[in-house]
Chain A
């Protein structure tokens, strides 16, 4: 009963998550109407899988004893292969599962085909379902009490669906990483048992006759009829009198697999591995309070002092001279084909100058000091013979010296000591919740951005002008919600979102607006494929960077104000989307991003200035109401709004004044939550 329960639970939960991700994606894109197509696909998959399972079972029952044993061997082998594949696949692909599914769903939506959506949902569930049926079937056959096994499987699936719904609704929070790890461990043991059973049935089918001497007598350990024996045989499939070949097979399978499943996850590099699982969770689901993101946020909030905050506030991009006063220290970095080892590799906290030199490394021309993927300082374009420096005020912690192109491109750099005086702040639980919530929000937005951009880029590559135009506004929205975060990553924002007047040389202009001009002004996508490819790459970079980015409450508040400043200076004027006139969807996205940050800060603000919190909330409402006047469904170019060029001057003025009315009190928040 237990093995089938675990199988049902795990596979069922995976399937629920897949359905949840697709459903959340559809809901977020205002396509609840397409939900029924998804359900058709899911139902089809369930029927097909159940049919396959029943068919195999019936087939096996009709066969003579020996062939029956042969079929059981085959099914057992397939089941072992399936579970092995699954464990490996989840280990390496879970992170992208969400964006891949969303990309596929976006693609289906974009092609306007309900059949495609049905097929997509069906295939996604079918894969899980087929695994489940084969695996369950094998477990059934290895089991002694088939009705109990059936009940176990059913219970497992029911619990899984329940958890899936709970996660989708946001009510249940579980640590997905731990869940998948524990179930993977149990599954490996079950599969190892299946290896043993398969070898046993293979012998009975007359296919395997070597190594049939009895290797162990486990009946002493677990006398038949005892609980332990039931566990051994029932759960783990271990025979009481295993033969040599069976023991060898069990050990050969189980040992490497258990090592793989239980291997320690990388903790350096921003703990990306630990963060894998939460990324597969749909929309509002989150990992538990003990989740890695929260823990890291708390750590980060404790470790990052005022100096780093100041760096964040100025955008983190450049390594300008650090304020005088600290003990200046120098770290030498020589660019070499093998790497860029900082010397010394560890310094005490304080103002630090990095002298970067390139003697003769032609493949390496750049050194960046990063923390968690965020560039804190850098020196670029150092071709052989050149040198340069940048200075930073560094707080204690672990940093990475990164030099793309070198054989070893990442080197650890450590800053020791206690934080700058007065800059240590023990983060309150409310602050920790705010920053971890914001981290999640940003990750979610980028996870939405990636497939939307991919779909847009696909249409651009296909030369499909109409489709690309209709995908443009929607692809931009998630970016606009988190633009201040994107802006903190050096050149990434200009490369994704620069307007023609932001670039020094128009020939270097890339990103959304370059394609926007091609779509609306040139009316031709000729030459846009490289731009589309680069856009997809840059958005992918952003996805990796935000995964390990850290935030401060004051930074979030300033980011929210910056979003409104964006609205005031470029959306209201119609400069942002000057060719497409889809400014209003960017407008809304900026406001939504500001509001998300504000909502996360609200619990902190309620403690320090409840009146301000109330005022801001009311003005958000007022601004959204002013914006709602211009809503339209599906709207101009599917943007959800009217063409901005049809919005009159007085209407623009009213929008602008609502933005100012909100931004004024919002600008007071940073000081209240710092």
Chain B
């Protein structure tokens, strides 16, 4: 991405200062290769290059999946209120063109604003950097009912998730015909994108539920420090890396073997709102906490010893039994124990204030996982975890969504879902 015509003022002194500040903190934390590269150029080169904080919108796959995980999330699920396929296509075209503008930091609308009309862009992102904004769309199973004549195009992999152990789902935080995942390093940029797409869709879609994530809990970037979740543990140490093409092709991107050619290059996302019983967790002893996860809290190393990124030795034993307990989270979630199955995780910590019925913090992990077939990846994993994971005592799945994310979009005329709506 090159310089942004909508922001001729970019590169002013204030901005450089802000970027330097951001850069220093981030660099000190030693996080994120892409960000670090940006910092180097901003600090070292002095010139306010604009390319490093935009993520290309078009490509073979949608951005926001293998993209290095941004700091903040705004996720929204929508229901279609129209039954017209024309309306659906118009919505997807409008959303795509708005997304193209927003990811490069341009405001919506062109020309002089009319003082008598509401502004086209809601405005809260004016003057903010693109902040590596990505917008990712997914289609829920309900979109393939008889309303739009798409039932024959429903992928078998988009089977409704079966009831799973350890869940207490709130229907008002679950499901949806469509979803938008907005990720950015600036929370306001992410929220702005989600809000403006919701506004553009008014009359065609209604919001079903939404979730803000204030901090990433996973990394998809090699060689960077692993962030911690609200339990204080490093999460996603063994996640699929965004540059691991072999793993991505094997576990994330839908291949030629799909029953629905329109999904080639796409992926399936499972989003779960996982409420943590923070108060209970906080009074658990350190040993209990470590045994529950299977790692040392501070270093992140597996209980079998070594360093964080050392492969856990699930066979190691101590005088009290396995070094990594049988019901430890990392054991039950590991590829080794799951016939080699892996998923790409992109979760975020969230809080929605307090749970008024209990007066406790309503917070946890908004779990997002991408995969090529939930039936063989997320579902068996969760079935096992929900039934046996020691962590289940401290968490509950309260919301759930499953969506088929179509492949990426190409040139200016292409739009999200064209391969689906195209030639039916």
Q: Could you tell me which A residues sit within 8 Å of B by CB distance? A: 554, 615, 619, 622, 650, 657, 660-662, 664-665, 667-668, 670-672, 674
Q: State whether B117 touches A668 (Cβ < 8 A).
A: yes
Instruction: Judge whether B81 is part of the interface by a CB distance below 8 angstroms.
Output: yes
| B115 nearest CB neighbor, chain A only | A671
Stretch of B54-62, B140-148, B198-206, B359-367 lying at the A interface: B198-206
> A278–B207 Cα gap in the complex (Å)?
48
Docked Cα-Cα span, A660 to B200, in Å, equals 11
Which chain B residues (115-131) contact chain A, with CB distance < 8 Å?
Answer: 116-118
Q: Which of A661, A671, A672 contacts B206 (CB 8 A)?
A: A661
Judging by beta carbons under 8 Å apart, are B203 and A671 in contact?
Answer: no
Bound CA–CA A615/B84 (angstroms)? 13
Q: Name the contact of B118 in the complex, choosing from A657, A660, A662, A667 (C-beta under 8 A).
A: A667
B203–A665 touching, CB < 8 Å: yes
Can you list 16 A-B pairs, Cβ within 8 angstroms, ordered by A? A554-B116, A615-B203, A622-B81, A657-B81, A657-B206, A661-B81, A661-B206, A662-B203, A664-B202, A664-B203, A667-B117, A667-B118, A668-B118, A670-B117, A671-B116, A672-B117
Q: How far is the CA of A668 from the CA of B117 in the complex (A)?
A: 6
Instruction: Say whether B117 contacts A661, CB under 8 Å.
Output: no
Taking CB atoms, residues of chain B closer than 8 Å to A660 are 202, 206
Does B279 lie at the interface of the complex (its beta carbon under 8 Å from any beta carbon of A)?
Answer: no
A619 touches B203 (CB 8 A): yes
Residues on A with C-beta less than 8 A from B117 are 667-668, 670-672
Interface check B114, CB cutoff 8 A: yes
B222 shortest CB reach to chain A, Å: 44
Bound CA–CA A660/B199 (angstroms) = 9
Give the most central of B114, B117, B118, B203: most A CB within 10 Å: B203
Q: Which of A650, A661, A670 meets B202, CB within 8 Å? A: A661
Closest chain A residue to B113 by CB distance?
A671
| Bound: A670/B114 CA distance, A | 10
B contact residues around A668 at 8 Å (CB)? 117-118
Q: How far is the CA of A665 from the CA of B203 in the complex (A)?
A: 9
Tell me which residues across on chain B come within 8 A of A554, comparing CB atoms: 116
Given contacts A657-B207, A671-B117, 11 further A-B contacts (CB under 8 A): A554-B116, A615-B203, A619-B203, A622-B81, A661-B202, A661-B206, A667-B117, A668-B118, A670-B116, A670-B117, A674-B116
Chain B residues with CB below 8 A from A670, complex form? 116-117
A662 to B116, CA, bound (A): 18
Q: Kindly provide the distance from the CB of A553 to the nearest chain B CB, expressed in whole angstroms.
A: 10
Q: Which residues of B contact A672 (CB under 8 A)?
A: 117
Bound-state Cα–Cα, A672 to B116, Å: 9
Smallest CB–CB gap between A621 and chain B, Å? 12
Chain A proximity of B81: nearest CB distance (Å): 7
The minimal Cβ–Cβ distance linking A562 to chain B, given in whole angstroms, is: 13
Q: Which residues of B lie under 8 Å from residue A665 when comparing CB positions?
A: 203
Considering the complex, give the chain A residue whose CB is closest to the CB of B206: A657
Looking at the assembled complex, report how far the CB atom of A529 sits from the nearest CB atom of chain B, in whole angstroms.
Answer: 43
Residues of B within 8 A of A657 (CB): 81, 206-207
Distance of A665 Cα from B202 Cα, bound (Å): 9
Q: Mark B96-134, 1 if CB is under 8 A from A, else 0.
A: 000000000000000000101110000000000000000
Q: How far is the CA of A92 from the CA of B320 in the complex (A)?
A: 105
A661 and B116 within 8 A (CB)? no
B118 partner residues in chain A, CB cutoff 8 A:
667-668
A674 to B206 CA separation, bound complex (whole angstroms): 30
Closest to A669 in B: B117
Residues on A with beta carbons closer than 8 Å to the beta carbon of B207: 657
List, in ascending order, chain B residues with CB within 8 A of A674's CB.
Answer: 116
Residues of B within 8 A of A667 (CB): 117-118
Q: Closest chain A residue to B172 by CB distance?
A: A650
8 tightest A-B contacts by CB? A671-B117, A661-B203, A671-B116, A657-B206, A664-B202, A671-B114, A667-B118, A674-B116
- Chain B: which residue is nearest A671 at the CB level? B117
Nearest residue, chain B, Cβ from A665? B203
- How near does chain B come to A524, taking the closest CB pair, in angstroms? 35
Closest Cβ–Cβ distance, residue A612 to chain B (whole Å): 11
- Most A Cβ at <10 Å: residue of B116, B202, B204, B206: B116
Cα–Cα distance between A622 and B83 once the two chains are bound (Å): 13
Once bound together, how far apart are the Cα atoms of A619 and B203, in whole Å? 7
Q: How far is the CA of A650 from the CA of B208 in the complex (A)?
A: 11
Distance of A665 Cα from B117 Cα, bound (Å): 10
Which chain A residue shows the least CB distance to B204?
A661
Cβ-closest chain A residue relative to B202: A664
B20 to chain A, nearest CB (A): 41
Residue of A nearest to B117 (CB): A671
Q: Complex formed: what's the CA distance from A674 to B114 in Å?
A: 11
Closest to A650 in B: B172
CB of A674, distance to nearest CB on chain B (Å): 5
How far apart are B108's CB and chain A's nearest CB, in angstroms?
A: 14
| Nearest residue, chain B, Cβ from A654 | B206
Q: What distance in Å separates the Cβ of B200 from its nearest Cβ neighbour in chain A?
A: 9
Q: How far is the CB of B31 from chain A (nearest CB, A)?
A: 39
- Chain A's closest residue to B171 (CB) is A650
Q: Chain A: which residue is nearest B116 at the CB level? A: A671
Bound Cα distance A652, B118 (Å): 26
Taking CB atoms, residues of chain A closer than 8 Å to B199 are 664
Q: How far is the CA of A657 from the CA of B203 in the complex (A)?
A: 8
Residues of chain B from 174 to 208 with CB closer than 8 A to chain A in the complex: 199, 202-204, 206-207
Query: Across the two chains, which residue of chain A brings its CB closest to B120?
Result: A668
The interface centre, meaning the residue of B117, B172, B199, B207 with most chain A CB atoms within 10 A of its CB, is: B117
Complex Cα–Cα for A615 and B206 (A): 16
Least distance between A120 CB and chain B CB atoms (Å): 47
- In the complex formed, the residue of B with least CB distance to A661 is B203
Question: What chain B residues lie within 8 Å of A615 (beta carbons)?
Answer: 203
Cα distance A119–B416 in the bound complex, in angstroms: 70
**What distance in Å separates the Cβ of A569 from its nearest Cβ neighbour in chain B?**
16
CB of B60, distance to nearest CB on chain A (Å): 35
Q: How far is the CB of A97 from chain B (nearest CB, A)?
A: 40
Residues of chain A contacted by B81 (CB below 8 angstroms): 622, 657, 661
For B202, list chain A residues within 8 Å (CB).
660-661, 664
B118, chain A: closest CB distance, angstroms: 5
CA distance A667 to B116 in the complex (A): 9
- Nearest chain A residue, comparing its CB with the CB of B114: A671
Nearest chain A CB to B389 CB, angstrom units:
33
**Shortest CB distance B208–A (Å):** 10
Q: For A664, what are the chain B residues with a Cβ–Cβ distance below 8 Å? A: 199, 202-203
Closest beta carbon of chain A to B266's beta carbon, Å: 29
Q: What's the minimum C-beta distance from B161 to chain A, rounded to whole angstroms?
A: 22
A567 to chain B, nearest CB (A): 15
- Give the distance to chain B from A170, nearest Cβ to Cβ, in Å: 32
User: In this complex, what residue of B is CB-closest to A657?
Assistant: B206
**Which residue of the partner chain B has the closest CB to A626?**
B81
